[in-house]
């Protein structure tokens, strides 16, 4: 990678990357890697880990590199942040959908030996009963939360960042973080 690329503004590097210059694309990825990590850090992906979110964020950055239009009034950094956040929100929403529940609620191979397996419902009636019991358990857990904690949890599960949740509930980011920590403690208690 040339030192010349390091000195260019992001918009110029993006134009070069969009025309096929791999060095310019790599330079942008290195330059904006901190942004991907910063956007992914406060988020949680059901059934995944922080590295999965970071990978999704880098895919959003690649989308920004390929789709940025320099003729618009936005700077590349602004456009990249929007693309990264959109990609992260999309991944979280996708992971939180009910169709992924069997994957997100499953145990790892290593932990199955230590935890006895729950028998799979054999009949439609048992499936309905199991779902009702699960919903009742969820409702009991939600009742243990304060009204603010329930709002924060709902927004958190919708994939909003701490800043967005803070705006939605009228609190500061630290207050939202404290609420998330209380929720985690309450929901992990036996």
Alpha-helical segments (H) within the chain: 3-7, 10-18, 22-40, 50-67, 76-96, 101-104, 109-112, 124-143, 147-157, 162-169, 173-188
Pick from 44, 25, 155: nearest CA to 95? 44
Give the architecture (CATH level 2) of 3-99: Orthogonal Bundle (1.10)
Q: Tell which residue, 91, 72, 74, 84, has the closest CA to residue 28.
A: 84
| pLDDT of 113 | 44
Mean pLDDT for back-to-back runs of 10 residues, the chain (190 residues)? 64 88 90 90 74 89 89 86 91 70 50 47 70 74 84 82 90 89 75
CA distance 129 to 124: 9
Fold adopted by 118-188: Arc Repressor Mutant, subunit A (1.10.10)
Tell me, what's the pLDDT at 81? 93
Domain limits, CATH 1.10.1740.10, in the chain: 3-99
Query: What per-residue confidence (pLDDT) applies to 119?
Result: 53
Q: What is the reported pLDDT for 62?
A: 92
pLDDT of residue 168: 93
In this prediction, residue 32 carries a pLDDT of 92
- Outline which parts of the chain fall under CATH 1.10.10: 118-188
Joined tokens for residue 170: 């009228």
């Amino acid at each position: 990678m040339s030192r010349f690329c390091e000195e260019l503004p992001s918009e110029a590097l993006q134009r070069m990357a969009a025309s096929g210059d791999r060095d310019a694309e790599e330079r942008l990825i290195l330059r904006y890697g901190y942004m991907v990590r910063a956007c992914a850090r406060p988020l949680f992906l059901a059934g995944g880990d922080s590295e999965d979110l970071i990978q999704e964020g880098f895919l959003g950055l690649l989308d920004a590199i390929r789709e940025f239009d320099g003729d618009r009034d936005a700077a590349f950094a602004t456009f990249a942040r929007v693309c990264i956040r959109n990609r992260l929100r999309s991944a979280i929403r996708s992971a939180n959908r009910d169709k992924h529940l069997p994957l997100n609620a499953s145990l790892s191979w290593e932990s199955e030996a230590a935890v006895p397996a729950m028998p799979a419902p054999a009949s439609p009636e048992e499936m309905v009963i199991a779902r009702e019991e699960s919903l009742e358990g969820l409702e009991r857990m939600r009742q243990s939360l304060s009204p603010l904690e329930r709002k924060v949890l709902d927004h958190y599960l919708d994939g909003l960042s701490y800043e967005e949740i803070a705006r939605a509930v009228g609190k500061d980011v630290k207050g939202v973080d404290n609420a998330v920590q209380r929720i985690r403690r309450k929901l992990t208690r036996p």
